[in-house]
Structure 1
Amino acid sequence: MRKQILMASAALALVSASPALAQEISPSEAESIQQRLTRYLPQDMIDAGLITVKAATSFYELRFDPKVLLDKTKSGMVKLEGLKPMTAYLRPSADGTYRIEANDSFDIKGDVDLPEGRNSFSYVIDSMKLDGVYDPEILYFTSADWVTRKIAFSSTSPKDSVTASFGETAMHVSAEKKDASTLDISSTGVMKAFAETITSDQSGRVEIGADKLDIDVSMDGARYKVMQDLVFLVLDNLHKQRLEASEAARLKELLRAALPVFDNLTETIRASNVTVGTDKGTFGAEAVDYNVAMNGIAHSTRFGFGFGVEKPKPPAGLLPAAYEGLLPERATFRMAVADLDLAGAVKYLADHADFTKPKLLTDEEEKEIGRIVLPGGAMTLEFEDVSAASPIYDVHLTGKMTVYPDDKERHSADVTITMRDFDKTVTYLQKNAGAVPEFAQASFGLLMMKGLARDAGNGAQAWDLTVGEDGKVLINGRPLPFQQ
């Protein structure tokens, strides 16, 4: 997969002069493509042939030789075997896009001499294929498919070792222009038969496995045009100690224009039939998922994240039978950090930073950026869904909490706890109180809570819990007896 990424990265730098030229296969156009791809490379690497483009009958041959990088950075510490050039074929289309194809394999071994000893490693990909349509205008694929078979990695040091592998992998990416300056980008994929083994002196041996990983990533409204200008401005000036006044002004202009960078970003990863083997036995779950979501670099940025587990299973005999009955069939934790003024911080940076000097901001200006990100010094935490459910209980928590990082004593909360199957839960605790005496105390506490609950309908009880900055607690609008 690393080789495919390198080939894709090279392709991303490709810029065609015009659709008309893109239809013609010629040595001069091959040279033009190569110059664009190598624009930011050191001259010695260009001369050594790190990236070359040659014209064939109906396509251009793009060749990337990683040995050049190794030769230019030789220190004696790293030894590698199996490096070979990678090749992709670029077929120009009448609309100015390129059909890019690659079919390769990867098998390298190496070792690194470190003070603590020798670290050996290997990377193997039995086969990998890329087939996509690349648009030079957006510097990205309008569509592309990556398919690999058997990816394996290993690393061994005197203290630990790691091996990991996937059976088959299939990834698809696409990009659609929404207007002259924005893109919608999506990526989906499936990685099958994941296995990893970690062995160390401290943790012993841990084996992690999953039947497959499903990946879904999307970005809506990506401001690709201004981001291209911003990236190229940075690359064009990397060799300079400091920017000229005109360049600094242009950088500030682009920083403002790039906001909010994108409208929405979402990512979900779901692992099926997960197992974790340890010296205490094998833990498992039918599924584990992870997700993130963000609404851009905005004046009210919301960054959400969460994870969930379905049908977790501990090793046999690890928990007493009474506790096994309390394990959830599913559990979810999803929350978000809300109301972050990231756009305000970027605009303040653009207004006050001096990009012609080594230190962009004064100490006080750096502190002001922190104050802008958290308006009023407050950080808002929103609980979207914190829940657990089993045959004997079903509990959910939603709401929000406000904390002040610079004032640890100042905080407030407004959350709602909803519980179904209340009587089943109490009955279970009372039934097993003989085996677990703590259950009797827990059931008594739940019965006291029930007295403070409101009817939420459909057999559910609810508690609206409010905690003020003064420490006063209200439950369904009523203060606790000892606070009255």
Structure 2
Amino acid sequence: MRRQILMASAALALVSASPAFAQEISPTEAESIQQRLTRYLPREMIDAGLVTVKAASSFYELRFNPAVLLDKAKTGAVKLEGLKPMTAYLRPMPEGTYRIEANDSLDIKGSVDIADGKNSFSYVVDSMKLDGIYDPEILYFTSADWSARRLAFSSTSPKESVTASFGETAMRVEAEKKDAGTLDISSTGVMKAFAETITGGPSGRVDIGADTVDIDVSMDGARYKVVQDLVFFVLDNMDKDKLEAADATRLKDLLRASLPVFDNLTETIKASNVTVGTEKGTFGAETVSYNLAMNGIAHSTRFGFGFGVEKPKPPAGVLPAAYEGALPERATFKAAVADLDLAGAVTYLIEHADFTKPEPLTEEQNKEIGRIILPGGAMTVEFEDVSAVSPIYDVHLAGKMLVYPEDKDRHSADVTITMRSFDKTVAYLQQNAAAVPQFGQAAFGLLMMKGLARDAGDGAQAWDLTVGEDGKVLINGRPLPFQQ
């Protein structure tokens, strides 16, 4: 997917911590770039040529040779064929950035011997191209386009086999400096003709497919400068058994300065014309979507997530006709875990941890961090939109619930259920009650609920449902008759 961009970004992240202004191509500068790239690599891997940089007429040739990693692993359990060096071309630009170009392919086959038997695998990419502008100051691409044709993967074990492939993939990455220490980063892309087959598992053979998979990821306000300093600090000290007092103080300063790490993170993935073939037939949907959102490491962190499906279609004959008519045309589940005090937990860590010791925190201090993350011991779950819509019903739920992980019997909720097409729903259930007796019971229950509803306008009924920690239930402010 974004593998080529990420590989290039990771490799080039050590080129420099400051801008490298346009200059004449020279062997001396090629050696300097190579030294910065390999600064944290073991000497034996440097000498074996894991990463090399050579000067050409108008660019630097960067080569990454993954075979070195396999040779240095010194194990007979893993066997690989087809490993070859990957090459990128670095062209210095007048503003101190580099234009990075790469055009490569991949055809790797291998096996791993483990206790359960031999596992074989393969990775094939017919072609993959990268063209981007890399800024050494931010250690990332200000813009980059990555594309690939026919990505394929296979894995076979004694128990099951998996094959997966994409026809074409195109990704676009952009980063914009907002001020001296923050970035806005975005990544968009589309992957076409996805197909995956799983055989031999608990479900027998499963075939999964999608015409397209659209991806949209963005991060606003990323604190890139202090995160860079933190990463390099860790790399510089990773071989030490313990930190000196000055280094421990430096680590705390960096952790404190990095908050909230970023302002907002969002990700949306949508697959179109999805099919899932099983022994019972082929299930399908016009679209299946997934999304997440987070507002950084804050005193009130909110982590949202959601799933959605449009026009689901079960295999013919799997569901009785009455149930097929009750399937939603659109269903959504969008919720969030809110009010997490992650910044408070990091602040407590900074104030109490002793990084000069093997165990920076005591057992009780570790428990206190857990208590800080959940203020008052409560986890707040917000339901933004839980809904199902069809020609015969339209129901939505929104609100929040408090749960207490350390006290399983303690919980409360305050949600609103809104329902449109109420009469259509009841009529459908009553008409099909002979075929599905449970529909008759459901119709009766809905008619009872209607008597407790409030008018939400536009032909909708609503129920404000409150559940107290004592277990008592209020509907639109009124207790249930049997609880009075």
* TM-score calculated relative to the size of structure 2: 0.98
User: Which residue of the partner structure matches residue 100 of structure 1?
Assistant: 100
Work out whether residues 291 and 305 of structure 1, in 8 Å CA contact, stay in contact via their aligned partners in 2: yes
Once the two structures are TM-superposed, the CA of residue 26 in structure 1 deviates from its matched residue by 0.9
User: Which residue of the partner structure matches residue 144 of structure 1?
Assistant: 144
Letter in 2 for 1:127: S
Shift in alpha-carbon separation, 1:136–1:18, aligned structure 2, 3 A = closer
Once the two structures are TM-superposed, the CA of residue 3 in structure 1 deviates from its matched residue by 5.0
User: Which residue of the partner structure matches residue 200 of structure 1?
Assistant: 200
Aligned pairs for 1:416-455 within 5 A = 416-455=416-455
CA distance in structure 1 between the partners assigned to 2:277 and 2:242 by the alignment:
53
Q: Does 1:287 align with 2:287?
A: yes
Once the two structures are TM-superposed, the CA of residue 281 in structure 1 deviates from its matched residue by 0.6
Work out whether residues 16 and 33 of structure 1, in 8 Å CA contact, stay in contact via their aligned partners in 2: no
User: Which residue of the partner structure matches residue 119 of structure 2?
Assistant: 119
CA distance in structure 2 between the partners assigned to 1:285 and 1:16 by the alignment:
48
Deviation larger for 368-377 or 436-445: 436-445
Q: Does 1:6 align with 2:7?
A: yes
Once the two structures are TM-superposed, the CA of residue 438 in structure 1 deviates from its matched residue by 1.4
Once the two structures are TM-superposed, the CA of residue 203 in structure 1 deviates from its matched residue by 2.2
Work out whether residues 3 and 86 of structure 1, in 8 Å CA contact, stay in contact via their aligned partners in 2: no
User: Which residue of the partner structure matches residue 78 of structure 2?
Assistant: 78
CA distance in structure 1 between the partners assigned to 2:8 and 2:465 by the alignment:
55
Work out whether residues 337 and 380 of structure 2, in 8 Å CA contact, stay in contact via their aligned partners in 1: yes
Once the two structures are TM-superposed, the CA of residue 161 in structure 1 deviates from its matched residue by 0.4
Work out whether residues 331 and 388 of structure 2, in 8 Å CA contact, stay in contact via their aligned partners in 1: yes
Deviation larger for 6-15 or 370-379: 6-15
Q: Does 1:15 align with 2:16?
A: yes
Corresponding residue SS for 1:129? strand
Q: Does 1:267 align with 2:267?
A: yes
CA distance in structure 2 between the partners assigned to 1:265 and 1:179 by the alignment:
18
Letter in 2 for 1:10: A
Once the two structures are TM-superposed, the CA of residue 143 in structure 1 deviates from its matched residue by 0.1
Work out whether residues 216 and 267 of structure 1, in 8 Å CA contact, stay in contact via their aligned partners in 2: yes
Shift in alpha-carbon separation, 1:201–1:411, aligned structure 2, 3 A = closer
Letter in 1 for 2:11: A
CA distance in structure 2 between the partners assigned to 1:376 and 1:153 by the alignment:
48
CA distance in structure 2 between the partners assigned to 1:228 and 1:427 by the alignment:
63
User: Which residue of the partner structure matches residue 132 of structure 2?
Assistant: 132
Aligned residues: 483
Once the two structures are TM-superposed, the CA of residue 7 in structure 1 deviates from its matched residue by 2.8
Q: Does 1:216 align with 2:216?
A: yes
Aligned pairs for 1:20-99 within 5 A = 20=21, 22-99=22-99
- Runs of 5+ in structure 2 lacking a partner? none
Corresponding residue SS for 2:138? coil
CA distance in structure 2 between the partners assigned to 1:141 and 1:176 by the alignment:
9
Work out whether residues 218 and 266 of structure 2, in 8 Å CA contact, stay in contact via their aligned partners in 1: yes
Corresponding residue SS for 1:444? helix
CA distance in structure 1 between the partners assigned to 2:480 and 2:20 by the alignment:
74
CA distance in structure 2 between the partners assigned to 1:292 and 1:154 by the alignment:
29
Q: Does 1:163 align with 2:163?
A: yes
Once the two structures are TM-superposed, the CA of residue 202 in structure 1 deviates from its matched residue by 2.7
Work out whether residues 426 and 446 of structure 2, in 8 Å CA contact, stay in contact via their aligned partners in 1: yes
CA distance in structure 2 between the partners assigned to 1:371 and 1:155 by the alignment:
43
User: Which residue of the partner structure matches residue 314 of structure 2?
Assistant: 314
Letter in 1 for 2:111: D
- Runs of 5+ in structure 1 lacking a partner? none
User: Which residue of the partner structure matches residue 470 of structure 1?
Assistant: 470
User: Which residue of the partner structure matches residue 362 of structure 2?
Assistant: 362
Work out whether residues 7 and 64 of structure 1, in 8 Å CA contact, stay in contact via their aligned partners in 2: no
Once the two structures are TM-superposed, the CA of residue 74 in structure 1 deviates from its matched residue by 2.4
Once the two structures are TM-superposed, the CA of residue 12 in structure 1 deviates from its matched residue by 2.2
Work out whether residues 19 and 137 of structure 2, in 8 Å CA contact, stay in contact via their aligned partners in 1: no
Once the two structures are TM-superposed, the CA of residue 186 in structure 1 deviates from its matched residue by 0.2
CA distance in structure 1 between the partners assigned to 2:86 and 2:38 by the alignment:
16
Identity %: 80
Letter in 2 for 1:263: D
User: Which residue of the partner structure matches residue 331 of structure 2?
Assistant: 331
Q: Does 1:178 align with 2:188?
A: no
Once the two structures are TM-superposed, the CA of residue 15 in structure 1 deviates from its matched residue by 1.2
Once the two structures are TM-superposed, the CA of residue 4 in structure 1 deviates from its matched residue by 5.0
Deviation larger for 112-121 or 138-147: 112-121
Residues 159-195 of structure 1: per-residue CA shift (max 9 Å, x gap): 1100000000000000000000000000000000000
Once the two structures are TM-superposed, the CA of residue 29 in structure 1 deviates from its matched residue by 0.8
CA distance in structure 2 between the partners assigned to 1:195 and 1:85 by the alignment:
29
Once the two structures are TM-superposed, the CA of residue 6 in structure 1 deviates from its matched residue by 2.4
Corresponding residue SS for 1:452? coil
Deviation larger for 261-270 or 1-10: 1-10
User: Which residue of the partner structure matches residue 244 of structure 1?
Assistant: 244
Once the two structures are TM-superposed, the CA of residue 16 in structure 1 deviates from its matched residue by 6.7
Work out whether residues 248 and 356 of structure 1, in 8 Å CA contact, stay in contact via their aligned partners in 2: yes
CA distance in structure 2 between the partners assigned to 1:289 and 1:257 by the alignment:
36
Once the two structures are TM-superposed, the CA of residue 8 in structure 1 deviates from its matched residue by 3.0
Shift in alpha-carbon separation, 1:239–1:48, aligned structure 2, 3 A = same
Once the two structures are TM-superposed, the CA of residue 323 in structure 1 deviates from its matched residue by 0.6
Corresponding residue SS for 2:451? helix
User: Which residue of the partner structure matches residue 296 of structure 1?
Assistant: 296
Deviation larger for 412-421 or 435-444: 435-444
